[in-house]
Amino acid sequence: MDSKLSVNGENSNIGITRLWKVITSFREATIVFIIIIISLMLTILSTHFLTRDNLMSIASGLAGDGIIAVGMTIALVSGGFDFSVGSVVALSGVIVGGLYFVGINIWIACIIAILVGMLCGFINGFFIGKVGINPFVATLAVMGIARGVAYVVTEGNSISLFSVPDSFGFIGHGKLFGIPFIVIVFILVALVGDFMMRKSELLRKVLYTGSNEKAAIMSGINTIKVKIWVYILVGTLASITGILVAARFNVATPNLALGVDVSIISISAAVIGGASLSGGQGTIFGTVLGLILLNLINNAIIILNIPVYWQDFVNGTILIAAVTLDCLSRKNVIRS
């Protein structure tokens, strides 16, 4: 009888292991399946879900986070992450609003804001790659510095952008072929990022650095330079997001993207999509799918009249599940 129980237990473990391998091997297909199921359920439960306005609202909502998530995915692949992106978003908007307020051309102000975002990324990359500071500590410090500068410049006040030129307003409110401009920017960034992840020599070096930094160094890769460029890219995308968001809401405020929420959303989307917190793994396509899933769930909470404060609980639960999946996947790889 004991032997039967033992055999049954082993068969059960084998079945679970096989199911686990299927889920982890076809992560992106699994996410697509879940997205379809949730979409079908919401279509049945709410006539509002498939309306053009709601779908455009979902797309516009994920576009800002999505641009940042592309950069965050590359940072995760390199073996790091960036908690400063939210502060860089706010600082970039404040720079654009502040410079325009004192009479500087709005597009020159945008260029300066992007350069500042690149500088923030360089600082992160320098201290992480060259000095060897942990990404958590380095990016948290830059997060505080960037947010502090935004508060000092504005004295804690918001800057109205209602009087900006129509050309600037277009990037926040305009549409091309019926699609919000910010969504088009996100699609282009995602496509370029995905192409670079597959074809770019630099991003192949990022992958090698995240997979095994010591081996990458021995093969002649300058991992310090790689990390610096990775964080410059993240800072650049965060500053572009800050400009687009400021144009969308007609205001630049130091309170924008407060805390690490933007970072957590980006990391969650990337990990759900298959990126590893230990580096060396991840795709832009997977991150986009993860982001769609998160925004779909948050949209469901709204249209089903579930209290909004459940969003944080649900997002946190999904992040824990995704991180657990990542950890168990790595353990299975080590065992095999």
Return the pLDDT at 333: 56
Which residues neighbour 280 within 8 Å (Cβ) at sequence distance 6 or greater? Answer: 77, 79, 207, 208, 210, 211, 212
Backbone angles phi, psi at 251, to 5 degrees: -155, 145
Q: How far apart are CA 74 and CA 283, in angstroms?
A: 8
126 close to 132: Cβ distance less than 8 angstroms: no
Indicate the SS3 state at residue 243.
Answer: helix
Q: How far apart are CA 91 and CA 177, in angstroms?
A: 31
Return the pLDDT at 334: 56
Per-residue pLDDT reduced to its tens digit, 244-281: 999 998 999 998 766 557 888 899 999 999 898 889 88
Low-confidence ranges of the chain (pLDDT < 50): 5-7, 15-16, 20
N-terminal to C-terminal alpha carbon distance within the chain = 31
Return the pLDDT at 255: 86
In a domain, 12, yes or no: no
In a domain, 270, yes or no: no
In a domain, 329, yes or no: no
In a domain, 271, yes or no: no
Return the pLDDT at 177: 87
Which residues neighbour 231 within 8 Å (Cβ) at sequence distance 6 or greater? Answer: 75, 80, 82, 121, 122, 124, 125, 128, 129
Per-residue pLDDT reduced to its tens digit, 115-130: 999 999 999 999 999 9
Domain count, the chain: 1
Q: How far apart are CA 59 and CA 70, in angstroms?
A: 15
Return the pLDDT at 259: 53
Q: How far apart are CA 208 and CA 223, in angstroms?
A: 9
- Domain holding 90, by residue range, is 61-260
DSSP letters of 140-187? HHHHHHHHHHHHHHHTT--EE-TTS-HHHHHHHH-EETTEEHHHHHHH
Return the pLDDT at 258: 62
In a domain, 11, yes or no: no
In a domain, 305, yes or no: no
Return the pLDDT at 5: 47
In a domain, 130, yes or no: yes
Return the pLDDT at 20: 46
In a domain, 76, yes or no: yes
Question: CB 332: neighbour CB atoms within 10 A?
Answer: 13
